[in-house]
Chains A and B, each alone.
Chain A
């Protein structure tokens, strides 16, 4: 009998549910997460089950929401803050990078905080409902950053995030919410933070990616099989701390690499991955490390513009072919 499949969104909901069932220190702060169940219905049913003490609807005050969660976390609670769209995390930038992130380094007090929310484009959300803000935070010591691209990771990484003693930013890709379906892994094992996953083994060229772009890479790999090009796909899953060993291992194996991400290219996580490869695996390379990212523009609205803006299978296949003959 086949196991039941769930969507990526349901996996997130299930992880929150299971952690709240298991540990009463876990509680949530967010906008419209209670009666309404969240803009994407991630917390539908939570208010009924866990009550208003643990499912807290807040004013439109991102900075205060996260500040409040920091205070509660220091006191031994395990708060999870939902950003209605992750774009709005910028309104709480100071609390995250100046309060939560350096707290343990500065005075030894852990801040077991999770901030989660829908990131990414391809749903015509335009400039303020499509962003990928990871690189703003990639720079900041003390944070952990997760970006699951599979149902299993959406579930297992979120549970790991809630149990981690550090401030964790969990960027879920809204394009995958209801499009991606898979079985939840049996058992209670967490997905380790800081470990990349080899999503596809291949010989010829490595695509290092995460989030929704993982599926672009896998689809491109299928299409390139006909050309006799065997792609390896590394799913980073954790963006901070980066799994440098896994990154260097795949480069040493295939000697060609494309870093595929949905960020604006300048100052991106992809840039950091490329820099590490250049610094630590230069002699293994048979060609330049290519970053296939978004251009340095805001996220445009119109489908024709957004298609031009985002990386996709066609763009990746073309770049792979080009780099394969370098």
Chain B
């Protein structure tokens, strides 16, 4: 085997983290809106905990994907959008969908393949969209949604809709051809588009060091002649403020931006994966930086909330989720004949 030459580097180098302090980014968001951010992050995590229970009960018929540790990215980005904007969330962006008005029961029914799920049982997990709520469903092939969202932005501009399109990509997904083609096309066309690169250290079991030689994904923005920024992805305020800047720039005609959100995937690729390949010290390093705990400390430390306020929020979510789970469980499985329906859209597109 020596003939094959030497390996070119350690397989599991330390994941590069963003420069960070405990202190969160500066924001003008008033107390109510900061509490709302907290609620969405908490909702994100608690929905996933409920989904975990349903999974262990055998109610989830496929895989289950967690965004634990990455809630600040999903919630902060989506929170920076306006109602007319369109978003293309990926599998770990449940929080972003909740901000856009998706009900927990919709996601639960998706995972459990129920008849009343948004896709009627035809697809699972977060793979559903609703343009009335500005949501485009992703496909599993990473990167593919980038040019699609560039097209959404293009259409919005043609239609004079003043909308911004936003989607996500992981560190692994930046290695796809569509990442390059899509971001380049968006840049060349100058469309109002924001790409959030969620740099969470691992693409399934592959560390970022086997995806790229650069430390910061934001570096790639220079190749497309667009602004790029790296933010602390576990600081919901930093994510929100950076996204807001990019969205405003896009809306003003400044074209696309790339934002790299540095965070960490605190679970495996999916529920079946115990992430045994991730060195323990990486989890230990990131656990104290948990975005929800950190935001709690900020809210309490700055006097924006007290323990009672936060407990009340959690209790409200808990009660809501009891109802959501009951509703989702009560939905029947879809009728078999539905498998054959809806391959084509029916009516002619009238002028």
Contact = CB atoms under 8 A, between A and B. Distances in A.
Contacts of B181: 59, 61, 63-64, 67
Of the four ranges (under 10, 10 to 19, 20 to 34, 35 or more), the interface on chain A belongs to: 35 or more
Given A27-B158, A71-B165, A164-B349, A99 B139 contact: yes
Contact of B141 (A64, A71, A98, A141): A98
A55 to B, nearest CB: 12
A104 interface: yes
Interface in B110-128: 118-119, 122-123, 127-128
Contacts of B119: 106-108
B344 A107 contact: no
A61 B176 CA distance: 13
B40 to A, nearest CB: 23
Interface string A93-121: 01100110001111111111000000000
Interface stretch (A6-14, A73-81, A124-132, A271-279): A73-81
A95 B144 contact: yes
Contacts of B144: 63, 67, 94-95, 98-99
A72 interface: yes
B177 interface: yes
A106 B122 contact: yes
Given A105-B342, A107-B119, A107-B137, A64 B150 contact: yes
A164 to B, nearest CB: 7
B152 interface: yes
Contact of B151 (A70, A144, A165): A70
A57 B102 CA distance: 37
A266 interface: no
Contacts of A58: 185, 188
Contacts, number: 159
A144 B350 CA distance: 18
A22 interface: yes
B185 A59 contact: yes
B89 interface: no
B155 A75 contact: yes
Contacts of B185: 58-59, 61, 64-65, 68
B155 to A, nearest CB: 4
B178 A53 contact: no
Contacts of B343: 104-105, 141-142
Contact of A63 (B147, B159, B165): B147
A221 B188 CA distance: 52
Contact of A164 (B146, B151, B153, B348): B348
Contact of B127 (A61, A66, A106): A106
A71 B149 contact: yes
Interface string B324-351: 0000000000000000001111111111
Contacts of A307: none
A53 B145 CA distance: 22
A242 interface: no
A261 interface: no
Most central of A68, A103, A165 by chain B CB within 10 Å: A68
A6 to B, nearest CB: 23
Nearest to A100: B148
B129 interface: yes
A202 B196 CA distance: 63
Contact of A59 (B122, B130, B188): B188
B184 interface: yes
B152 A74 contact: yes
A144 B346 CA distance: 13
Contact of B349 (A103, A107, A165): A165
Contacts of A75: 86, 131, 151-152, 155-156, 159
Given A75-B155, A98-B139, A112 B349 contact: yes
A64 B345 contact: no
A107 B182 contact: no
A58 B184 CA distance: 10
A80 to B, nearest CB: 13
A107 B158 CA distance: 25
Contacts of A181: none
Interface string A43-70: 0000000000110101101011111111
Contact of A74 (B123, B131, B159, B178): B131
B189 interface: yes
A200 interface: no
Most central of A54, A72, A98 by chain B CB within 10 Å: A72
A71 B148 contact: yes
A99 B148 contact: yes
B226 interface: no
A74 B140 CA distance: 18
B96 interface: no
Contact of B148 (A67, A77, A106, A142): A67
Which A-B residue pairs are the 7 nearest by beta carbons?
A: A71-B151, A67-B147, A110-B345, A75-B155, A64-B181, A68-B151, A64-B147
22 contacts: A67-B181, A68-B148, A68-B151, A68-B185, A69-B151, A70-B148, A71-B165, A74-B136, A74-B152, A75-B159, A79-B151, A95-B147, A98-B140, A98-B144, A103-B137, A105-B343, A109-B131, A141-B343, A163-B348, A165-B344, A165-B345, A165-B349
Interface of B: 86, 118-119, 122-123, 127-131, 136-137, 139-141, 144-156, 158-159, 165, 177-178, 181-182, 184-185, 188-189, 342-351
